[in-house]
Amino acid sequence: MLTDPFPERVPERITERVTERVTASFVSHRQRRYLLAAAAFTFAVAVQGAARAEEPVQKSPPSWSADPAVVEKLSRSRPDFNYRESEVPDYELPDVFGPLGKPANAAGWPERRAAILELFRSHVYGHRPTIDAEISYERAEPPVDPTRGQARGQRVFCVVTKGDRTFKFPFYLYVPATATADKPVPLIIFINNRTPTDPEAMLETPNDFWPLDMIIEAGCAAAVFHTSDVDPDRADGYLEGIRGFLAEGQPRARDAWGALSAWGWGASRIADYAIENVPQTDPQRLAVVGHSRGGKAALWAAAEDPRFAISYSNNSGCGGAALSRRRFGETIARITSSFPHWFCEHLTTYAGSEPALPVDQHQLMALIAPRSAYVASAAEDLWADPRGEYLSLVHAAPVFELLGKPSIQTATMPPVDTQRVEGPTGYHIRSGGHNLTRDDWGRFLRFAAGRFSL
């Protein structure tokens, strides 16, 4: 830093010059007072400038990179998995436009999209069956209102009837008290993979995982259902959920839908209900949100159902937002052995052979384009591969661009606890570990407010 080597001499020089002028000119008393005041002012400016020169230059916070201490700790606790960026294998991603290649213009995208969607159905998430059943809805007694008058709530059952058999799952839906059919509000559907929602408990202790108060205050309606109410989150739960019900107890094929797809299907049935029965919600402003396994389901829900204007996946990792070919943190081999019910059985073919998989997760982001995709990571959640989650958005950019939308293209990640938004894409990485917090919700709701013009 450059500074005056003799800063203490500044006032001396100024005083000498002013005194010489005053003595030589025999100026009046008033003029002497003026000149001395000017000298004092000049000195003050000089001192202030010297002080500024001593101030440290404010630097922008650095791009996120994994804390070496966290890397070492996780590497020791799970030595069979990679947490070091230097050990990510060389990889080549499939063309984001799929096997048909980049089209000449946006008119060619639907054909490419259909081909990519079919690859994901066949190799990752499974094919949903044709629903030859009647779907209806039953309202239960209104639930407790944990917002204390800020919203109107419903407890509803989605009822699937096939012959003389029925299957049903419950969900809650809350609409801001100020919403009307003339001024409908966005609806945010949350795929809850933790403790089932209990509005009565929320009266005493706010639910940070699903902060209904924040969502309502943001001007949105909120719906929530529990994953296992639609399809049990157990490898041996197939016959108890919607998949076993619709298959009438028959074993599933290798390319049949897994639980992640079933949970996404459940989110779409809540969208159906709101569109048909809740005019205070806007069918053009639907969002689907999930954390971890719920985040994987939220991305696939938006891929299968174009009515979702926003998909928000939080810490979704392998099988969600993270690129599989990086083999960082959780891998296909580990996830398909620990949670075989989440995906179609065909995905096990690529355990340890990720380069042979005909798709990767940047193409899942592309399936959502030109709608909005929001991804969030956590700085200490290396199991979910934050960099791989971010890069999926970056590598989907050519599709957003083809469709006339700006999107995140910067290869370097943003600093921790900093949000990056470009067009219909958004990302943040929060300090801390694997979780969905009010901080995460706050950043997402700000993003949604921009997309939904709230």
Place of tokens 């990302």: 427
134/164 Cα distance (integer angstroms): 11
Interval 208-235 mean pLDDT: 98
> Tens digits of per-residue pLDDT, 416-438?
999 999 999 999 999 999 999 99
Q: Which of 100, 95, 105 is nearest to 401 (CA)?
A: 105
Tell me: do 13 and 113 sit in the same domain: no
235 phi-psi bin (left φ>0, alpha ψ -120 to 50, beta other): alpha
Rounded Cα distance between 291 and 385, Å, is: 14
Q: Identity (one letter) of the amino acid at 183?
A: K
316 is catalytic: no
Instruction: Give mean pLDDT, residues 36-48.
Output: 51
Residue 36 placed within a domain: yes
Specify whether the backbone of 27 is left (phi greater than 0), alpha (psi in -120 to 50) or beta. Answer: beta
Helix ranges (DSSP H) in 148-241: 199-204, 212-217, 227-230
Q: Check residue 30 and give its pLDDT.
A: 46
Domain of residue 224, CATH code: 3.40.50.1820
Give dist(CA 367, CA 98) in Å, integer: 11
Query: 């003026």: which residue's tokens?
Result: 34
The tokens of 193 are what? 């993979």
Angle between helix axes 361-368 and 109-120 (nearest 10 degrees) is: 130
246's tokens: 């619709």
User: Is the pLDDT assigned to residue 9 strictly greater than 70?
Assistant: no
Q: Are residues 362 and 267 in the same domain?
A: yes
Q: Is the pLDDT of residue 12 over 90?
A: no
434 catalytic residue (yes or no)? yes
Residues 24, 104: one domain? no
* Domain co-membership, 47 together with 116: no
Q: Which residues contact 417 (CB under 8 A, 6 or more apart)?
A: 428, 429, 430, 431, 439
pLDDT at 14 exceeding the cut of 60: no
Percent of the chain with pLDDT strictly greater than 90:
85
User: What are the counts of helices (DSSP H) followed by strands (DSSP E) for the chain?
Assistant: 15, 10
Tell me: the pLDDT tens digits for 262-320? 999 999 999 999 999 999 999 999 999 999 999 999 999 999 999 999 999 999 999 99
CA distance 70 to 112: 41
Which residues lie below 8 Å from residue 378, measured CB to CB, with a gap of 6+?
315, 384, 386, 429, 430, 431, 432, 433, 434, 435
Mean pLDDT of 105-109: 98
Shared domain check, 236 and 280: yes
Place 41 in a pLDDT band, splitting at 50, 70 and 90: low
Q: Is residue 271 part of a domain?
A: yes
- 304 within 8 A of 313, measured Cβ to Cβ: no
- Residues of the domain holding 33: 7-54
Give me the helix-helix angle, 361-368 and 293-304, nearest 10°.
Answer: 50
Instruction: Judge whether 2 lies within some domain.
Output: no
CA distances from 50 to 3, 15, 16, 44, 46 (A): 7, 18, 20, 10, 6
Beta bridge partners of 440: none
Residue 4, phi then psi, degrees to nearest 5 = -65, 125
What secondary structure does DSSP assign to 67-118, as a single string? -HHHHHHHHHH-TTS---GGGPPP--PPPTT-TT---SSGGGHHHHHHHHHH
Is residue 38 domain-shared with residue 122, that is, in the same domain? Answer: no
pLDDT top residue among 5 and 313 = 313
Candidates 268, 292, 324, 407; catalytic one? 292
61 inside domain: no
Task: Identify the pLDDT of residue 337.
Answer: 97
pLDDT for res 56:
58
pLDDT for residue 52 = 53
Shared-domain flag, residues 131 and 11: no
Considering the domain architecture, whether residues 94 and 48 belong to the same structural domain is answered as no
Asked if residue 307 and residue 358 are part of one domain, the reply reads: yes
Please tell me whether residues 197 and 274 are part of one structural domain: yes
Query: Any idea how long the chain is?
Result: 454
pLDDT, greater one: 435 or 204: 435
* Whether residue 326 is found in the same domain as residue 367: yes
Helices (H), 289-430: 293-304, 332-338, 361-368, 386-395, 397-402
Q: Which pLDDT score, from 0 to 100, does residue 77 have?
A: 96
pLDDT in the model for residue 59: 74
Do residues 82 and 215 lie in contact, with contact meaning Cβ atoms separated by under 8 Å?
A: no
CA 63 to CA 85: how far, in whole Å?
A: 14
Helix (H/G/I), strand (E/B), else coil: 361: helix
- Bridge pairing between strands 165-176 and 151-162: antiparallel
In a domain? residue 244:
yes
Task: pLDDT band for 48, please (50, 70, 90 cuts).
Answer: low
pLDDT of residue 218: 98
| Catalytic pick among 63, 65, 127, 434 | 434
Is residue 42 located within the same domain as residue 169?
Answer: no
Q: Is 36 exposed, middle or buried (0-12, 13-18, 19+ CB in 10 A)?
A: middle
Q: What total of structural domains would you count in the chain?
A: 2
Whole-number average pLDDT of the chain = 90
| pLDDT of 373 higher than 90 | yes
Is residue 60 assigned to a domain?
Answer: no
Residue 55 binned pLDDT confidence (cut-offs 50, 70, 90): low
pLDDT confidence tier of residue 8, bands split at 50, 70 and 90 = very low
Indicate the residue type of 313.
Answer: S
**Which pLDDT score, from 0 to 100, does residue 49 have?**
53
